[in-house]
């Protein structure tokens, strides 16, 4: 490997310019303000319905949107900073691919879900859905974290957003499933897509970089910023696009209780399975969130608060056990190197959530739960069979994509100007009365 | 002390499982959706009142709830990461006990405040109140930070939530006081409960761990994340359960001005009392928040903006002086070791806030202030005399609760897998063209 | 230089007390609750209009306000923590001057914009506008970061808030421009004011502190917290005071797309202009935000989503190039030392945004864009010529203001108690079964 191979100098600008140019052209041709964001359409609507500016859906969705937005960029971004030498890449590549994903998915979801009279109409709902889609991409990013260049990641985003849209279309539009919080469409899809890509990009010699595949003290604290924000705003995530009124309110409540229970389960299991009876930050950072994933499908239903707690408690338990027992097997037996353990946080709890949705929908009589609206939740969890992913995976393997060598995985320095080593590059001279710092040595 | 004594292996899982199981059973028996979260009840209500889904209280309380939620989990959690070696425990035990507290207080507050026809009905208001209660627990946690195991903390939570509910019931329901921002019910109660527990768990040999009872450079920055979020969202905290309309709006405004003034007071006093004229992060991290505490009772009243500023300025001044002069006395004379100085941030300003509430309520004619609503704010600040806390305190002292030895206080490693020392475990090799990291030495 | 000269002991308390006292007196005389925060006025209004408490503007502005508030205190505060030895000062002086600025600008903006019957009436809109004004001050702070004492900064705030109000009055009230997101009033003004002050305080011997004018690994991660929050909430910033309904909704949408495109541009240009094809955190932390600045004036107009993307892409490109090519020239040729590069993030994109606003307003027919409302956006970008700033600048140069010496710029220790060097002050002893930490050596 030469320094040249991982240089982003021409590759990254080329793909960024190309994707942004393509997006701008498609937006110019197809994307228009919807009736809540267009001056003309909105004022027409107001006149016809004798309404008020304060009825604009902006006021009833935007706070939820901002919570979701925070999860995508702060939550996912900082959760992945746990690696000792990959903090820049974690938070900044997360930033880059989400910034592209929200644009691209506005187009893909628009073509598939809201293409009327040859135009895509955008507003707060399209923004939330675009953020949701980028959530799935970032889950996949977690599986390949540290082993892919930003060029590969942008290509992956281009392909995955497209497949995400198709999968979502099959699930929600053709089959008619309900999945407001995305147990199936976001978590299960994002996790298994990421694992498939990770399998395709399998590195037999990754042990050359294993010494960097861990945390240091402060990187674990940065990661906790991500964890806590994901945990806090998961009720908003699951409820952001549910129907207004009791649905949205109930979704929040159920998610809140499920998360609380999964947190206790995670602490319990983490200390139980550790030989010295110590807790493990990996578990706390991840498995405590499984309660949000597991009720993604069912939280809008009449799950009951104690039902949400049971679901959350099981999800936290299974997720923590997954980190201890399944991740090593995925690596050693199935050649799937899952950097962030997305299988445990998003894969397993997502599948469990789909089953739970089917169960709750099955138990409830239609009338009692939904006031007459049809419900087919939980039918099928993944509709694009894994082999379909292989061709795009193949594209990602192409050698000119600035992928890191096996010896340089989990390492910021190949993609970033890193100016100085840690804080210790300066000693703090704390002798009184002088107050002057000295460079070390 | 042996390594065994602080092992969480059986103790933490046992208490987590037990508490969660108990909670789930009680929820199954007693907790139901309220009329804003239940599909049936909400649609009945809509039909009877000819209302709209957009009238659901969700839209008028949820943004405030999320601000409060952020204060509880990010604000308190990161504020306590200032200790150099206790960041994992600070943010994660905060996470654990708040996750349990919100469940348990939903039950306790439900039984005491909203138990109708044998059921507790839950929705956004119960969520806010549960978060409030957990705020009191986390204040107490601040007093015993670094000196207690998570097992002890969960037991403390179980007991304190219960007493919190009783105290709140006496104050708000029996006496009829108004205390929307919890100067009395949350801050004063939480602080003095915590100080009582700290007194009960007094460690004469804590000096063996004093070298860890301080900050390092980056731990103080992590703590500032907590401080700023608490400061930002305190207007939401004080207003989250006030009456809709001008009350909520005015509470926000008064709190905003009070906080601004307490910030200037804190910087002023901090530099004034330092021998070298330097500022102290301990003061900025804490006393700047006193402006939020001090108007907890009175912010919803016609306090006037300049009244709020005077209150905030006094609170910031007193709180900063407390850190300098009172904390050492509590430790040396009263055997109360108050790790975070909660007496200065929550205790003193809470008492001051109760007095201020009484004053403002007394000054105002009923009609002028409340449009005819009765007002008894400020009567009495704490209704459970400290001796009542002793028996539960006694339980916390039991030797099998994995409490740290005197030599191991303020130390993450006894409860956590700590994988590597700081960032310095790797030197950053920044020689050009090589880009390869080497483990130090 | 002696330690004495930078002591804050008497200077900082004096200015804090004085400013706070003056503010309190002026508030007592002039500031009153507005009709949405006053109990009497609100209930009168309700009776006259047969309205509901839920119509209070609090519910339609407060979530936006809190996003803006987060940008001011977390966003700006943490963005500036990138310096290796200036994290305390960055986040805490940001905190101090913003806390004063929001009070002082409530008065100044009140006198100039909403002075009726001899009183200033305050509520959520005045809070947002006060936060906006403090944004301009913090932009200026970025230009002089590390080279000024908190005493100088408070004086600068006093003067700049006043000039900000006058400039805003000329632009918005006299000329009638629209500038909801403040491309002109906030970004351009704040940047060029800060650069003027930096020029006045030019330090020919700043090279004595250059070794501290850079980042370390974790300080760049702290800065990313600021960046991401600014990026996330910029849609709220631009829309916080626009008209309710489609205006506010459309402003959010345009800003969202502009920011996404500026992010891709920043990554592209950053890697393109680096000799080794590496990315630079300075660019990502700053230029990715230029998309928010550039649509500050035009985002509320019918800019179209693809128009917003083009604007954002250009702004990200120009801003990144500015860091590479213009900042060094400002320093070497014009004697302007711009610590944070505010010229690139706020100056250039702000001017571009003003031009864009004029262009979009000019292109659109009045009817099509605004439904009949008059529009004069983009006329003139700065109305107070730079020479006007010189006298206040002169005041800031006075020698008794605790300004740091040239050898002690970018250094927390002159103003802060810094208790220990980095995390490395303790080695983490991770030998099994002992679990005991030892102070290093």
CATH 1.10.3430.10 fits C8-439, yes or no: yes
Q: Give the model's confidence band at A434: pLDDT under 50 very low, under 70 low, under 90 confident, else very high.
A: very low
Domain boundaries, chain A: 57-439
Chains with at least 3 CB pairs less than 8 angstroms from chain A: B, C
Reduce the DSSP state of residue B338 to 3 states and report it.
Answer: coil
Record: contact B150-A267, CB cut-off 8 A: yes
Which residues of chain C does B59 touch, with a Cβ-Cβ cutoff of 8 Å? Answer: 59
Q: Which residue of B has its CA nearest to A222?
A: B222
Residues above pLDDT 90, as percent of chain B: 78
Count of C-beta atoms within a 10 Å radius of residue A51: 13
Give the DSSP per-residue string, A275-295.
Answer: TTS-B-HHHHHHGGGHHHHHT
Distances (CA, A) of C33 to A192, A316, B243, B295, C399: 56, 49, 17, 17, 41
**Do C185 and C136 contact (CB within 8 A), yes or no?**
yes
Which residues of chain A does B99 touch, with a Cβ-Cβ cutoff of 8 Å? Answer: 259-260, 263-264, 288
Residue C292 and residue C315: Cα distance in Å, rounded?
A: 9
Closest to B281 (Cβ–Cβ): which among C38, C88, C421? C88
Taking residues A303-309, report their average pLDDT.
96
List the pLDDT tens digit at each of the 441 positions of chain C: 334 588 999 999 999 999 999 999 999 999 999 999 999 999 999 999 888 999 999 999 999 999 999 999 999 999 999 999 999 999 999 999 999 999 999 999 999 998 999 999 999 999 999 999 999 999 999 999 999 999 999 999 999 999 999 999 988 888 888 898 999 999 999 999 999 999 989 999 999 999 999 999 999 999 999 999 999 999 999 999 999 999 999 999 999 999 999 999 999 999 999 999 999 999 999 999 999 999 999 999 989 999 999 999 999 999 999 999 999 999 999 999 999 999 999 999 999 999 999 888 887 655 454 444 444 444 555 555 555 566 566 777 776 889 999 999 999 999 999 976 544 434 333 333 333 333 333
pLDDT in tens, B358-374: 888 887 655 454 444 44
Q: What is the pLDDT of residue B361?
A: 83
Q: Nearest C-alpha of chain B: how many angstroms from C283?
A: 20
Residue C279 and residue A415: Cα distance in Å, rounded?
A: 6
Length of chain C: 441
Cα A288 to chain centroid distance, Å, stands at 15
Which residues of chain B does A278 touch, with a Cβ-Cβ cutoff of 8 Å? Answer: 7-8, 414-417
Q: What is the pLDDT of residue A138?
A: 98
Tokens encoding A242? 């549910």
Q: Nearest C-alpha of chain B: how many angstroms from A158?
A: 29
pLDDT in tens, B320-329: 999 999 999 9
With vertex at residue B224, the alpha carbon angle to CA B220 and CA B230, rounded to the nearest 5 degrees, is: 145
What is the edge-to-edge ordering of all strands in the sheet holding B115-116? B31-33, B119-122, B115-116
Among A427, A430, C434, C427, smallest CA distance to B440 is for C427
Q: Give the model's confidence band at B41: pLDDT under 50 very low, under 70 low, under 90 confident, else very high.
A: very high
Chains with at least 3 CB pairs less than 8 angstroms from chain B: A, C
Q: What is the pLDDT of residue B365?
A: 56
What is the fold of A57-439?
A: Ammonium transporter fold (1.10.3430)
pLDDT in tens, A322-374: 999 999 999 999 999 999 999 999 999 999 999 999 888 887 655 454 444 44
What Rg do the C-alpha atoms of chain B give, in angstroms?
23
**Do A390 and A195 contact (CB within 8 A), yes or no?**
no
Q: What is the pLDDT of residue C424?
A: 41
Count of C-beta atoms within a 10 Å radius of residue A373: 11
> Would you say residue B82 has pLDDT above 70?
yes
pLDDT in tens, A80-135: 999 999 999 999 999 999 999 999 999 999 999 989 999 999 999 999 999 999 99
Which residues of chain B does A55 touch, with a Cβ-Cβ cutoff of 8 Å? Answer: 54
Residue C44 and residue B248: Cα distance in Å, rounded?
A: 17
**Do A304 and B121 contact (CB within 8 A), yes or no?**
no
ipTM of the prediction greater than 0.85, yes or no: yes
Record: contact A31-C306, CB cut-off 8 A: yes
| Mean per-residue pLDDT over chain A, rounded | 88
Domain B59-410 CATH superfamily:
Ammonium transporter AmtB like domains (1.10.3430.10)
Q: Nearest C-alpha of chain A: how many angstroms from B51?
A: 11
Taking residues B36-52, report their average pLDDT.
93
Closest to B423 (Cβ–Cβ): which among A216, A261, A408? A216
Which residues of chain A does B149 touch, with a Cβ-Cβ cutoff of 8 Å? Answer: none
pLDDT in tens, B385-433: 555 566 566 777 776 889 999 999 999 999 999 976 544 434 333 333 3
Residue A181 and residue A241: Cα distance in Å, rounded?
A: 8
Q: What are phi and psi of A417, to 5 degrees?
A: -70, 115
Taking residues A273-301, report their average pLDDT.
96
Residue A289 and residue A284: Cα distance in Å, rounded?
A: 8
Q: What is the pLDDT of residue A89?
A: 97
Closest to A217 (Cβ–Cβ): which among B42, B103, B422? B422
> Would you say residue A241 has pLDDT above 80?
yes
Q: What is the pLDDT of residue B76?
A: 98
Tokens encoding C420? 């220990």
Q: What is the pLDDT of residue C425?
A: 38
Tokens encoding A209? 């970089």
Tokens encoding B180? 């929307």
Q: What is the pLDDT of residue C154?
A: 96
Residue C385: its H or E element: none
Distances (CA, A) of B357 to B129, B184, B291, C153: 20, 10, 14, 35
Residue C78 and residue C381: Cα distance in Å, rounded?
A: 28
Which of C72, C218, C428 has the most B C-beta neighbours within 10 Å, making it the best mutation to test the interface with B? C428
pLDDT in tens, B62-75: 999 999 999 999 99
Q: What is the pLDDT of residue A414?
A: 93
Residues above pLDDT 70, as percent of chain B: 87
**Do C274 and A13 contact (CB within 8 A), yes or no?**
no
Q: What is the pLDDT of residue C427?
A: 38
Q: What are phi and psi of C55, to 5 degrees?
A: -85, -10
Which residues of chain A does B434 touch, with a Cβ-Cβ cutoff of 8 Å? Answer: 3
Give the DSSP per-residue string, B26-70.
Answer: HHHHHEEE-TTT-HHHHHHHHHHHT--GGGSTHHHHHHHHHHHHH
Closest to B437 (Cβ–Cβ): which among A85, A276, A419? A85
With vertex at residue B71, the alpha carbon angle to CA C20 and CA B110, rounded to the nearest 5 degrees, is: 125
Which residues of chain A does B427 touch, with a Cβ-Cβ cutoff of 8 Å? Answer: 421
Residue B399 and residue B25: Cα distance in Å, rounded?
A: 29
Beta pairing class for B115-116 and B119-122? antiparallel
Taking residues B292-316, report their average pLDDT.
96
Taking residues B202-210, report their average pLDDT.
93
Taking residues A136-144, report their average pLDDT.
97
How far separated are the first and last CA of chain C, in Å rounded? 34
**Do C165 and C112 contact (CB within 8 A), yes or no?**
yes
Tokens encoding C6? 């930078």
Count of C-beta atoms within a 10 Å radius of residue B324: 18
Record: contact C437-B368, CB cut-off 8 A: no
- DSSP letter at B120 equals E
Residue C135 and residue C345: Cα distance in Å, rounded?
A: 13
At what angle are helices B124-144 and B87-113 packed, to 10 degrees?
Answer: 130
Q: What is the pLDDT of residue A391?
A: 59
- Name C438's bridge partners: C427
Closest to B9 (Cβ–Cβ): which among A219, A253, A271? A271
């Amino acid at each position: 490997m030469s320094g040249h191979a991982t240089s982003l100098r021409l590759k990254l600008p080329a793909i960024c310019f190309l994707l942004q140019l393509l997006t701008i052209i498609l937006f110019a041709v197809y994307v228009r303000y919807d009736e809540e964001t267009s001056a003309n359409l909105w004022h027409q609507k107001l006149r016809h319905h004798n309404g008020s500016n304060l009825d604009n859906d902006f006021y009833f969705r935007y706070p939820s949107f901002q919570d979701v937005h925070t999860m995508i960029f702060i939550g996912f971004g900082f959760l992945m900073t746990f690696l000792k030498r990959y903090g820049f890449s974690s938070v900044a590549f997360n930033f880059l691919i989400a910034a592209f994903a929200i644009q691209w998915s506005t187009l893909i979801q628009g073509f598939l879900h809201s293409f009327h009279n040859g135009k895509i109409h955008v507003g707060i709902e399209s923004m939330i859905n675009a953020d949701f889609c980028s959530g799935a991409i970032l889950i996949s990013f977690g599986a390949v974290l540290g082993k892919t260049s930003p060029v590969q990641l942008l290509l992956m985003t281009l392909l995955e957003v497209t497949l995400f849209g198709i999968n979502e279309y099959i699930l929600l539009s053709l089959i008619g499933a309900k999945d407001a919080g995305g147990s199936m469409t976001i978590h299960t899809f994002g996790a298994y897509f990421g694992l498939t890509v990770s399998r395709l990009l399998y590195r037999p010699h990754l042990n050359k970089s294993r010494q960097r595949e861990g945390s240091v003290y402060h990187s674990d604290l940065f990661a906790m910023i991500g964890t806590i924000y994901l945990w806090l705003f998961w009720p908003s995530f699951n409820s952001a696009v549910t129907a207004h009124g009791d649905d949205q309110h109930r979704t929040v409540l159920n998610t809140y209780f499920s998360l609380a229970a999964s947190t206790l389960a995670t602490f319990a299991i983490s200390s139980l399975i550790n030989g010295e009876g110590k807790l493990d930050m990996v578990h706390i950072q991840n498995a405590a969130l499984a309660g949000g994933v597991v009720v993604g499908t069912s939280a809008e239903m009449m799950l009951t608060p104690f039902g949400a707690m049971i679901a959350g408690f099981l999800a936290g338990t299974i997720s923590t056990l997954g980190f201890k027992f399944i991740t090593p097997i995925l690596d050693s037996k199935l050649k799937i190197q899952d950097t962030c353990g997305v299988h445990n946080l998003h894969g397993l709890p997502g599948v469990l959530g789909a089953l739970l949705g089917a169960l709750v929908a099955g138990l409830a009589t239609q009338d009692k739960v939904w006031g007459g609206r049809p419900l087919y939740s939980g039918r099928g969890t993944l509709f694009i069979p894994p082999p379909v992913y292989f061709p795009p995976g193949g594209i990602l393997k192409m050698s000119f994509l600035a992928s890191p060598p096996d010896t340089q995985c989990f390492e910021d320095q190949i993609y970033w100007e890193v100016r100085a080593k840690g804080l210790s590059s300066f000693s703090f001279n704390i002798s009184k009365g002088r107050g002057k710092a000295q460079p070390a040595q």
